[in-house]
Amino acid sequence: MRIGMVGSGYVGLVSGACFADFGHEVCCVDKDPAKIAALNRGEIPIFEPGLAELVAKNVREGRLTFTTDLSGAVAAAAAVFIAVGTPSRRGDGHADLSFVHQAAREIAAALAGYTVVVTKSTVPVGTGDEVERIIRETRPDADFAVVSNPEFLREGAAIADFKRPDRIVIGAEDARAAQLMTELYRPLYLNQAPLIVTSRRTAELTKYAANAFLATKITFINEIANLCEQVGANVQDVARGIGLDNRIGTKFLHAGPGYGGSCFPKDTLALIKTAQDYEAPVRIVETVAAVNDQRKRAMGRKVIAACGGTVRGETIAVLGLTFKPNTDDMREAPSIDVIRTLQDAGARIRAYDPEGMAAARAVLSEVEYARDPYDCARGAAALVIVTEWDMFRALDLARLKAALARPIVVDLRNIYRPDDMKRNGFAYVSIGRPKILPAPSLEASEPSRVEIEDTRALATTA
């Protein structure tokens, strides 16, 4: 089947490459000529494991092409996907649909023969109706249907998520369009991926509800982690203890510095706004968004507390800048708030990230970038782990300790074990687990103690 993919960003590029790999003929469109020229040279604008190879293979085999010519791609296609950005609108937090509406107008002008127009971008409830109206107004004679098909892939695991989804959701208002979509996803359908065919509005809302629920799960365990710190419990054991109940599930219960990324912050906000407009407020999600916002700066204060209450004039080493591992994406990354809080308190920052330093330079000022984790730790008063890249999980602890001015590690992702860190002579603070307090002088030669941090100190930092 021939597919036009309008928008060659994260979702468009990954979906386009995967559809091509299923055997469809895919033409990816983008307004940005530089991006299309780069893609045609085989250069991938984002860091996503396996994507470069998948694109190269399908281009070579003639199923995947890139163009700025939207009309040509649309006229040839049986299904046209809208996969353009839907950022938060400045000022009010609603999703900005101007790119979606513009795409709908341009697609309308180019339609030839029965075409299914699919919104793949995350769009508020009712956007499908609006896209349909725009197309009908632009081209009263067009033969088309508008379908919602939200995408649930995660950055860093995008290809596996697309090819082996937990489910496929299709929101269609007529049987012919639903049939075409089912045919499109047949390779997955045959693979037993459940396919839910529902109304367009239901599909649109399903995507927001999924992201809001996951954000809620993370925020819930983050607050339980705060409580664990106060009462001397271990959040990882609590997460496992509740997660093994099938009704809860073990995933998305990793306590950390708060969620970031291109989806959760933006989509929770958009859901909150839509729900308020319809006078059916989602108060739980409102609280989740507020709690998560506050948490990111609280993590900076946690570092300051671990350093004895001040970081003025000190260098703090930060490992991991991207909002999660295996991406170069800095959008809404907790590292930004952690670093700014530390800078506001007078600290100098030296940071290292395997893929995110170029993007970080555009967002953060006055940060020194290191060559590797040990170079980052050099002479620093403390080391903070903000993103759990695999390469940070097995650091040479003796080398790290030798590099640091003070052996303090604040692990905001719980990737080390407190007892290991104790054995290696670190003062170690993590999330929702017993702390290893430094010996009074912080000298490496003095034995450390594992104990629960003074609850009065915590109350001021959490």
Query: What is the binding site for ligand UDX (CB under 6 A)?
Result: 151-155, 211, 214, 218, 252-254, 256, 259-261, 263-264, 323-324
Rounded to a whole number of angstroms, the minimum distance from the CB of residue 352 to ligand UDX is 18
Rounded to a whole number of angstroms, the minimum distance from the CB of residue 328 to ligand UDX is 12
User: Which of 144/220 has CB closer to ligand UDX?
Assistant: 220
Q: CA–CA separation, 44 vs 362, rounded Å?
A: 20
Tokens of 40: 């045609």
User: Which of 386/403 has CB closer to ligand UDX?
Assistant: 386
Residue 158 annotated in ligand binding: no
Residue 167 annotated in ligand binding: no
Residue 252 annotated in ligand binding: yes
User: Which of 142/238 has CB closer to ligand UDX?
Assistant: 238
Tokens of 187: 């390779």
Residue 94 annotated in ligand binding: no
User: Which of 81/426 has CB closer to ligand UDX?
Assistant: 81
For residue 174, what are the CA distances in angstroms to 5, 171, 195, 200?
22, 9, 16, 10
User: Which of 151/355 has CB closer to ligand UDX?
Assistant: 151
User: Which of 180/288 has CB closer to ligand UDX?
Assistant: 288
Q: Closest residue (Cβ) to ligand UDX?
A: 263
Instruction: Provide DSSP, 144-182.
Output: EEEEE------TTSHHHHHHS-S-EEEE-SSHHHHHHHH
The answer to whether the CB of 203 falls within 8 A of the CB of 171 is: yes
> Which is catalytic among the residues 18, 27, 263, 376?
263
The answer to whether the CB of 211 falls within 8 A of the CB of 264 is: yes
Residue 254 annotated in ligand binding: yes
Residue 35 annotated in ligand binding: yes
Rounded to a whole number of angstroms, the minimum distance from the CB of residue 264 to ligand UDX is 5
User: Which of 33/194 has CB closer to ligand UDX?
Assistant: 194
Q: Is 376 a catalytic residue?
A: no
Residue 405 annotated in ligand binding: no
Q: CA–CA separation, 163 vs 185, rounded Å?
A: 10
Rounded to a whole number of angstroms, the minimum distance from the CB of residue 403 to ligand UDX is 26
C-beta pairs of 44-47 under 8 Å, 24+ apart in sequence = 44/13, 45/13, 46/9, 46/10, 46/13, 46/327, 46/328, 46/329, 47/326, 47/327, 47/328, 47/355
Rounded to a whole number of angstroms, the minimum distance from the CB of residue 261 to ligand UDX is 3
Q: Which residue in 274, 111, 114, 99 sits closest to 204, CA to CA?
A: 274
Q: CA–CA separation, 170 vs 109, rounded Å?
A: 25
Q: Which residue in 126, 89, 88 sits closest to 203, CA to CA?
A: 126
Q: Which helix (H) or strand (E) holds 37?
A: helix 33-40
Rounded to a whole number of angstroms, the minimum distance from the CB of residue 254 to ligand UDX is 3
Scanning 232-371, the segments in alpha helix (DSSP H) are: 235-243, 264-277, 283-306, 334-344, 357-363
Residue 422 annotated in ligand binding: no
Residue 152 annotated in ligand binding: yes
Rounded to a whole number of angstroms, the minimum distance from the CB of residue 63 to ligand UDX is 24
Three-state DSSP class for residue 441: coil
Residue 442 annotated in ligand binding: no
Q: CA–CA separation, 317 vs 381, rounded Å?
A: 8
Q: CA–CA separation, 414 vs 433, rounded Å?
A: 8
User: Which of 69/390 has CB closer to ligand UDX?
Assistant: 390
- What is the number of other CB atoms lying within 10 angstroms of the CB of residue 242? 16
Q: Which residue in 106, 206, 114, 88 sits closest to 151, CA to CA?
A: 206
The answer to whether the CB of 264 falls within 8 A of the CB of 234 is: no
Q: Which residue in 340, 360, 254 sits closest to 297, CA to CA?
A: 340
Rounded to a whole number of angstroms, the minimum distance from the CB of residue 155 to ligand UDX is 4
The answer to whether the CB of 108 falls within 8 A of the CB of 70 is: no
Binding-site sequence positions: 30, 35, 86, 122, 152-155, 207, 252-256, 260, 266, 324, 331
Instruction: Give me the active site residues, please.
Output: 263
Binding-site sequence positions for substrate: 152-155, 207, 252-256, 260, 324
Binding-site sequence positions for NAD(+): 30, 35, 86, 122, 155, 266, 331
